Amino acid sequence: MIKGFIFDLDGVITDTAELHFLAWKKLADKMQWAFDREVNEELRGVSRMDSLQIIKNHNKANVAHEKLMELAAMKNDLYVESLETLTPNDYLSGAKELLVHLRKEGFKVALGSASKNSSKVLRQLDAMKYFDVIGDGNSVSKSKPAPDIFLFGAKKLGLKPQECVVYEDAEAGVDAAKAGGFYSVGIGPAERVGHADIRFNTMKEATLFAVKSHFAD
Ligand code: B16
Ligand code: MG
């Protein structure tokens, strides 16, 4: 029986991907590194340091560990500054309606995001009130595709994985949900999340009714 829902943040609740892109782009320009939207697509759901590694490898650059830490901090400062522009109007279409519906129906809800800035993003959206548990980039050490972040959320909710549905927009996120034994909902194209138990193009279609009727118990 489904008792809980665990949501990824970027690409599911809101589209912070554009703000991540702009911050990485500023850093890349400063370093005279090539960086475009195609490379940015590879960063979907990937942790900050892993994202930097991808950009660095794309440029075949040699950077010492200390410098990498410095660059990651610079990007994060730019990103956090840009989060000030995020408002309660910036939910992806359908996401807020779903969160409100889940609250009304009494489901338990957790966040399962790779972002260390999740709480800040949720505060900007005024979305903290919809979550019982926040699982973010600070909660576990092994990032997606490891199932750890979703297992953390389920445990904190007091639920078993088979009692929870995970919403994800990233390939590695769906892998993580499946590895943990969760029901998975993929948001996005089949090439990316077609391996989820059920897939929708957008959050607007991924209503409680649509998902519950698929996982009928
Ligand atoms: P931060 P999600 C992910 O969020 C983003 O998709 C990814 O682009 C970003 O690098 C990662 O969070 C880490 O974010 O630098 O804020 O810790 O999709 O897991 O909600
Ligand atoms: Mg995501």
Per-block average pLDDT, block size 10, for the chain (217 residues)?
97 95 98 96 93 97 96 98 98 98 98 97 98 97 96 98 97 97 98 98 98 84
pLDDT of 195: 98
- 113 CA → ligand 1 middle, Å: 7
Of the listed ligands, the closest to the CA of 169 is 2
- 193 CA → ligand 1 middle, Å: 17
Residue nearest to atom 16 of ligand 1 (CA): 115
Global pTM value: 0.95
Exposure string over 44-67, b if 16+ CB within 10 A, otherwise e: bbbbbeebbebbbebbeeeeeeee
pLDDT of 217: 61
Which residues are annotated as catalytic? 8, 10
Among the listed residues 7, 46, 27, the one whose alpha carbon sits nearest the alpha carbon of residue 172: 46
Kindly state the tokens that stand for 179. Answer: 């590895």
- 109: part of which helix (H) or strand (E)? strand 108-112
pLDDT of 106: 98
Q: Give the span between the Cα atoms of 203 and 183, in whole angstroms.
A: 16
Residue nearest to atom 5 of ligand 1 (CA): 45
